[in-house]
Amino acid sequence: MKMAGIPFQETVLFLRKPGFDQNLSAFSSAGRVPVLVDGDINIWESLAICEYLAERFPEQCLWPKDRGMRAYARSISHEMHANFQALRQHLPCHFVARYQNFSIPPEAQNDINRVLSIWSGCRQTHAKEGPFLFGRFSIADAMYAPVVFRFLAYGVQVEDLHRAYMDMIEKLPAAKEWVYAAKQETERIEAYEKK
């Protein structure tokens, strides 16, 4: 929403802290964040939120305009949303940490290789149209942005083409705000503090 200049207010609920489920239950019974509240409409699941925004703000072209590109962008976004369990399990998202000499389990490396091959394919195809996966910013970049920060946190080895994409994402003002907010955060989840 920041990338598209769509104004919103953020309400922070602290994960695994007292009151989380109770506060969330007014908006979603799924027990997970994020949830988007637009008037009397509540939407949960990150990709459903993205789809809702694409429909609500068509002028922002949050999916590529070309049907074939859009189908591809949806496919890799759903792939991110539904898969990569080993990556999620072994490299949990941490925006601030920089773990040294982290040993990547083979199953997580398989997921990483798949992500890198998706990025290579997109960047090779759309290099002339702009720096994002499909040239201009799309929902696919939003879906993979947290992965960029996972790769940075765990020191994942990448090639120059991937590094250029990761640098570009990291330097976006919206991403910098994200990292800044993470650095200001005082709440901690112990399980994610040590690696």
Ligand X SMILES: N[C@@H](CCC(=O)N[C@@H](CS)C(=O)NCC(=O)O)C(=O)O
Give the position of tokens 């009397």. 40
**Contact range with ligand X by CB under 6 A, out of 29-37, 121-129, 164-172, 175-183:** 29-37
CB of 31 to ligand X, least distance (A): 6
3-class SS of residue 41: strand
Name the nearest CA neighbour of 61 among 116, 120, 6, 121: 6
CB of 162 to ligand X, least distance (A): 23
Distance, CA of 137 to CA of 94 (rounded, Å): 23
Rounded to the nearest 5 percent, the helix, strand and coil shares of the chain are: 55, 5, 40
CB of 181 to ligand X, least distance (A): 14
CB of 29 to ligand X, least distance (A): 13
Nearer Cβ to ligand X (93/168)? 93
Contact call for residue 163 and ligand X (CB under 6 A): no
Q: Kindly identify the residues of this chain, within the stretch 30-89, that bind ligand X according to CB under 6 A.
A: 32-34, 45-46, 81
CA 1 to chain centre: 12
Q: Where are the beta strands (DSSP E) in 16-171?
A: 35-38, 41-44
Nearer Cβ to ligand X (30/71)? 30
Q: Which of 8, 11, 14, 16 binds ligand X (CB under 6 A)?
A: 16
* Interacting residues toward ligand X by CB under 6 A: 15-16, 32-34, 45-46, 81
